[in-house]
Amino acid sequence: MSKTLFITATDTDAGKTVVACALLRIAAQQGLSTLAFKPVSAGCEKTGDGLRNQDALDLWSEVTEEMAYEEVNPIAFEDPVAPHLAAQRLSQPISVEQLNKSYQYLLNKNADLLVVEGAGGWRLPLGQGQFMSDFVKRHELPCVMVIGLKLGCLNHALLTYESMLANNINVLGWVGNVVDPDMAYLEDNIASLRKLIDAPNLGIVPHLDDTTNAASYLRLPF
């Protein structure tokens, strides 16, 4: 039976892509067919093939099934800012309907696992009063929350988690990703998160020079 996971985070640069790629790799190692979806991206590079986002490229490199880049990342902006601001500057509103159609197209491919990675944090604005969290809620996507382990992470994690619960989101688990290798009381913070968040801890990813090794620190939530 096919499954979908939405990867969200407590903030930008918390480690969503590292975790999403690691989960895709674990699934492939278990013999599962996989697809990836990065609905909206910003901070893209101009190439001869069009705009390309590094996070989306990383996801694309991990899937087992054939995909075009535009299937992975249908809406892309060059400016490295919140996507709705980049869209405003270009007078090109983000089409949530396009995102819904792109998602449904991938869902119809019936891969064993479709990993969907958000942009920024949980409440990323899409413009016109819409948020990425609305997309997740509409499709009833189960979520994995990535917590960037640094000073302030407890507050960020709880605000994100409580917002998800208030929207009746199924939080399958959380991952701690060490973004600050010098974080004081790291283990104490992790212990606090395990007490405060009523969802399974799927792993703690240390600060890595080679993030392709992240899969060895994680497990799938099912």
State the CATH number of the domain containing residue 140.
3.40.50.300
Q: How confident is the model at residue 134 (pLDDT cuts 50, 70, 90)?
A: very high
The Cα 85–Cα 32 span in angstroms is 37
3 state SS of 67: coil
- Token pair, residue 156, equals 């960020």
Amino acid present at 96: V
> Domain count of the chain?
1
3 state SS of 7: strand
The catalytic position among 16, 38, 101, 137 is: 38
Q: What local confidence, expressed as pLDDT, does residue 131 receive?
A: 95
**Is 145 within 8 Å of 5 (Cβ atoms)?**
no
Asked whether residue 39 is domain-assigned, the answer is yes
Tell me what the mean pLDDT of segment 187-204 comes to. 98
Asked whether residue 203 is domain-assigned, the answer is yes
Asked whether residue 71 is domain-assigned, the answer is yes
- In degrees, to the nearest 5, what angle opens at C-alpha 154 toward C-alphas 151 and 159? 125
Contacts of residue 106, Cβ cutoff 8 Å, sequence gap at least 6: 35, 37, 71, 114
Q: How confident is the model at residue 70 (pLDDT cuts 50, 70, 90)?
A: very high
Asked whether residue 222 is domain-assigned, the answer is no
Q: How confident is the model at residue 2 (pLDDT cuts 50, 70, 90)?
A: confident
Give the mean pLDDT of the chain: 96
DSSP 205-221: EPP-SSGGGGGGGB---
Cα–Cα distances in Å, from 18 out to 30, 61, 165, 188, 209? 19, 12, 24, 23, 12
Q: What local confidence, expressed as pLDDT, does residue 158 receive?
A: 98
Tell me what the mean pLDDT of segment 178-184 comes to. 97
Asked whether residue 175 is domain-assigned, the answer is yes
Asked whether residue 106 is domain-assigned, the answer is yes
pLDDT at 1 over 60: no
Q: What local confidence, expressed as pLDDT, does residue 56 receive?
A: 98
Is 46 designated active site?
no
The Cα 11–Cα 127 span in angstroms is 18
Whole-model pTM: value is 0.96
Asked whether residue 67 is domain-assigned, the answer is yes
**Nearest C-alpha neighbor of 122 from the set 130, 131, 111, 114:** 131
**Which residues span the domain enclosing 40?**
3-217
Phi-psi label, residue 138: left if phi above 0, alpha if psi -120 to 50, beta otherwise: alpha
Asked whether residue 190 is domain-assigned, the answer is yes
